[in-house]
Amino acid sequence: MTVKESNVPTNHQEQVVADIEKSLRYISAIIKQKGREILSNYTITPPQFVALQWLFEDGDMTIGELSNKMYLACSTTTDLVDRMEKNHLVLRVKDPNDRRVVRIHLLEEGERIIDEVIKKRQGYLNEVLVNFSQEEILLLDKNLSKLHQDMKAE
């Protein structure tokens, strides 16, 4: 059922959707800001964190694959990887199946930083959710997961 097919009057439904979009935008900005505050205690930049996160979640990938995921030019991603390699966060490795292909591999230090930062971000969210009941938290998780799945499917 689409938004328009529900029993809620259209103008009211449009306002609710507008309110949801605004709330998600504000929440995203707050989480991003909190993430940057946490990152300020580390020697990596926010774009490096995003790159490390992709490698942490999806495994080794080429510069081109990482560029596409981050919506960056390959040259920009190459510079990013150069700095991360210099700081021993990642390593360029030749693909065993095709030696012409070079993959970016997440090193232990990069993994440690990602793990620590994500745990601190989750701790922040846990503090914010202190006024939510267990049922509200589970419902929020369910609805956000459904929204994410539907958005990914498009």
Q: For 93-110, what is each residue's pLDDT tens digit?
A: 999 899 899 999 999 999
Instruction: Kindly report the CATH class assigned to 44-153.
Output: mainly alpha
Question: How far, in whole angstroms, is CA 154 from its chain's centroid?
Answer: 18
Is the model more confident about 114 or about 1? 114
Q: CA-CA distance, 90 to 60, in Å (whole number)?
A: 10
Contact between 48 and 39 under an 8 Å Cβ cutoff? The reply is no
What pLDDT sits at residue 76? 96
Q: In 3-state terms, what secondary structure has residue 94?
A: strand
Alpha-carbon distance values, 44 to 70, 81, 87, 117 (Å): 16, 12, 9, 11
What pLDDT sits at residue 153? 92
Residues 6 or more apart from 58 whose CB is under 8 A from it?
69
According to DSSP, residue 5 is labeled G
Give domain limits for the chain.
1-41, 44-153
To 5 degrees, how large is the angle CA 39–CA 68–CA 80? 40
What digits encode the pLDDT tens for the residues 8-36? 567 899 999 999 999 999 999 999 899 99
What digits encode the pLDDT tens for the residues 120-154? 999 999 999 999 999 999 999 999 999 999 999 98
Q: In 3-state terms, what secondary structure has residue 104?
A: strand
Largest CA distance in the chain: 60
What pLDDT sits at residue 2? 54
Q: CA-CA distance, 144 to 150, in Å (whole number)?
A: 10
What digits encode the pLDDT tens for the residues 70-90? 999 999 999 999 999 999 999
